[in-house]
């Protein structure tokens, strides 16, 4: 069972500061270390096999997740005399891992649009689409990194509050860009369904399924980010930081589902279509289309 009972504090916030308000559960941490290592290996294999190099940030994000739960596992073994190293490791890697997952999801949409020769259906040109969202992702990453670094070195309540506020700012940036990404994806999806390109009709990959997977992953990461905002907004002694169960429900489990979704429906089967001859030779507005072989994901 995950520990859900907060540890008691006896004096002011600074004097009674503890790295955890609970005793970290070693079994839960170990289970997610194993799950994320497995996901990392599977995705690395699929990346190399499909040459989907834009999914490298996704794999790094999974490695961050695994490292984070390694840190929690070490902390569990140190209870109650926790050291700062494992705590900082789990704090930073679990905070930043989903940002790296998001970067690859952003890039996947641009490649799908180009694959279907459907640039005209996107409200942002594909030459800018990836740049816009990855820029937002980098901004979110750097902001959260700065806040996380400040929080890791905090020695006073004021320093802690400052770090938490900066982290929340980075998370808000991520939520805003993900919300916009979902809108852009939906508009593209609706337009191409109403006015299919010749490629979208003839190509033999389940591109609609990839869109649904992107929707699901985006919503899961947004929910996780909203949870993190609520966690930091509640403060160090708030209910979300006082129970370990929440981080496993709203962070670990959701990020594992994202990894599993893309593990089953990996963009590799879609993005290698070009090398296999599934993309026509026109630019989407001409008439020179090849007969494309059909592929299953």
Q: What is the pLDDT of residues 185-238, one digit of tens each?
A: 999 999 999 999 999 998 888 899 999 999 999 999 999 999 999 999 988 778
Rounded Cα distance between 121 and 8, Å, is 57
Confidence grade of residue 275 (pLDDT, cut at 50, 70, 90): very low
- How many other C-beta atoms are found inside a 10 Å radius of the C-beta of residue 238? 15
Neighbours of 277 (CB within 10 A): 13
Q: What is the pLDDT of residue 16?
A: 55
Cα separation, 207 vs 16, in Å, equals 54
pLDDT tens digits for range 27-59: 999 999 999 999 999 999 999 998 899 999 999
Instruction: State the average pLDDT over residues 264-272.
Output: 79
Which pair of tokens denotes residue 30?
């170990």
Tens-digit pLDDT profile for residues 55-107 = 999 999 999 999 999 999 999 999 999 999 999 999 999 999 999 999 999 99
Distances (CA, A) of 226 to 26, 38, 230: 26, 27, 6
pTM: 0.85
Compute the distance between CA of residue 284 and CA of residue 75 in angstroms, rounded to an integer: 55
Burial bucket for residue 285 (CB in 10 Å: 0-12, 13-18, 19+): exposed
Q: What is the CA radius of gyration of the chain?
A: 21
Peptide bond into 80 cis (omega under 30): yes
DSSP 6: P
Whole-number pLDDT of residue 123: 96
What mean pLDDT, rounded, does the chain reach? 86
Q: What is the pLDDT, as a whole number, of residue 280?
A: 42
Taking 3-state DSSP, the helix, strand and coil percentages for the chain, each rounded to the nearest 5, stand at 70, 0, 30
Please tell me which residue, 154 or 115, carries the higher pLDDT value: 115
The proportion of the chain whose per-residue pLDDT surpasses 70, expressed as a percent, equals 85
Dihedral (CA of 129, 132, 133, 138) sign: positive
The domain ranges of the chain are: 26-131+178-271
Segment of 233-237, 280-284, 289-293 carrying the highest mean pLDDT: 233-237
Long-range contacts, stretch 283-291, CB < 8 angstroms, 24+ apart: 283/117, 284/117, 284/118, 284/119, 284/120, 284/197, 284/198, 284/199, 285/120, 289/198, 289/199, 289/202, 291/202
pLDDT bin (cut points 50, 70, 90) of residue 153 is confident
């Amino acid at each position: 069972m995950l520990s859900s009972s907060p540890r008691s504090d006896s004096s002011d916030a600074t004097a009674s500061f503890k790295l955890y308000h609970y005793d970290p559960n070693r079994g839960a941490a170990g289970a997610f270390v194993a799950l994320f290592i497995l996901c990392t290996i599977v995705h690395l294999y699929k990346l190399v096999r499909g040459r989907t190099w834009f999914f490298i940030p996704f794999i790094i994000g999974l490695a961050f997740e695994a490292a984070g739960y390694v840190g929690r596992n070490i902390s569990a073994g140190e209870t109650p005399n926790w050291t700062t190293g494992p705590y900082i490791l789990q704090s930073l890697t679990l905070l930043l891992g989903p940002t790296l997952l998001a970067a690859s999801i952003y890039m996947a949409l641009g490649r799908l649009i180009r694959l279907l020769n459907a640039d005209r259906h996107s409200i942002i040109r594909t030459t800018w689409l990836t740049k816009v969202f990855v820029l937002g992702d980098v901004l979110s990453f750097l902001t959260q990194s700065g806040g996380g670094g400040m929080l890791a070195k905090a020695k006073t309540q004021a320093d802690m509050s400052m770090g938490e506020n900066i982290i929340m700012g980075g998370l808000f940036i991520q939520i805003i860009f993900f919300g916009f990404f979902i809108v852009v994806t939906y508009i593209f999806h609706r337009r191409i369904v109403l006015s299919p390109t010749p490629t979208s009709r003839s190509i033999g990959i389940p591109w609609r399924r990839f869109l649904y997977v992107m929707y699901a992953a985006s919503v899961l990461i947004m929910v996780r980010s909203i949870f993190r905002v609520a966690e930091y907004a509640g403060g160090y002694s708030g209910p979300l930081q006082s129970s370990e169960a929440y981080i496993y429900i709203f962070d670990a489990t959701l990020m594992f589902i994202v990894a599993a979704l893309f593990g089953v429906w990996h963009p590799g089967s879609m993005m290698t279509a070009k090398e296999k001859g599934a993309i026509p030779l026109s630019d989407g507005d001409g008439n020179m289309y090849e007969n494309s072989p059909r592929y299953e994901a």
